[in-house]
Amino acid sequence: MKTIAISLGDINGIGLELALNSHKQVKKLCNPLYLINKKLLQRGAKLLNKNIPNDFKIVEVGKDFKIKPGKVSKKSGKFSYKSFLKAVNLAKSEVDAITTLPINKEAWNKAGIKEAGHTYLLDKIFKKEAIMMIGCDKLFTLLFTHHIPLKKVSKKIKTKKLLSFLLNSYNSLKVEKIGVLGLNPHAGDGGVLGNEEKKIKKAIKKANKILGKNIFIGPLVPDTAFTPMMRKEIQHFVCMYHDQGLIATKSLYFEESINVSLNLPIIRTSVDHGTAYDIAYRDKNPSNVSYINAIKEAVRLA
């Protein structure tokens, strides 16, 4: 059974509640190690009015402090940062993969952490550009560009860079069919609505030639790429920009979606939702579907 290190995220949010509620389910899928210290765990469990399972294995991280349910705080930001770093270090040699529960970026900022989230910190640690994949086993979208202004996307589409992205995506996933969307309406209509598809097509052709098989299909017309008929054939799609992929995944599979960091020396999956401060420690029984899916994908990729 694979060992998965689980960083608890922002302790003022729903991360600890998800971990405690889901432990029985999770231990059937993997051997979980929770990155939290004993005193903080006991404090959180008491606030949640929950028992700590006897087989809830922890790796001591950080110090004890007062939990402030639903509040942004410097201390919770620092703890979630340390929990994540410990998980990453374990993944280098001692565990098979990591799964992350949600952080709060404002809390990280208050704690003096410059990186705006998990993915950017992973880029810095490994000196590689992580590939962001969002979705679930019914539909995964891989974002060629993500957190940049839309007006800059077309300038980022270069054949060489996209070719590298496609090959790295395949090497991370090892799936036999990946769709690649065009940038423009109607995938450019043969150049009438834009020429970026020529570069995309060239990258697809080169990638398939290098791999010796037709893994990549496209450029696909963006407005028909995610139809039910297409999704029966293809479950993974490379998208040229953030909303092109995420509007589809979050509209169709919002509760089920996860975030996966590809193209790294370690395997990292995450829930695709936030800290849910509005329901934290309020006995609202938050959905664990995304969390369980993140664990399953970590096990599958490990």
Q: How do residues 78-118 score in pLDDT, each as one tens digit?
A: 999 999 999 999 999 899 999 999 999 999 999 999 887 88
pTM: 0.91
Q: Give the C-alpha separation, 159 to 147, whole Å.
A: 20
- At residue 174, the pLDDT reads 85
Its CATH architecture, for the domain 1-128+264-302, is 3-Layer(aba) Sandwich (3.40)
Please tell me what DSSP assigns to residue 142: E
Q: Give the C-alpha separation, 28 to 243, whole Å.
A: 35
Q: Is residue 40 predicted with pLDDT exceeding 80?
A: yes
1-128+264-302 against 131-261: fold identical: yes
User: Burial code of 4-41, b = ≥16 C-beta within 10 A, e = fewer?
Assistant: bbbbbbbbbbbbbbbbbbbbeebeebbebbbbbbeebb
Q: Is residue 34 predicted with pLDDT exceeding 90?
A: yes
Looking at the domain 131-261, which fold is it?
A: Isopropylmalate Dehydrogenase (3.40.718)
- At residue 147, the pLDDT reads 84
Q: Is residue 188 predicted with pLDDT exceeding 90?
A: no
Distances (CA, A) of 105 to 28, 60, 263: 32, 23, 23
Tell me what the mean pLDDT of segment 10-22 comes to: 97
Of the pLDDT bands very low, low, confident and very high (cuts 50, 70, 90), residue 201 is very high
Taking alpha carbons only, the member of 293, 294, 157 closest to residue 238 is: 157
Q: Where are the domains of the chain?
A: 1-128+264-302, 131-261
**Structural tokens at position 251:** 């509209």
Q: Which amino acid is at 37?
A: N
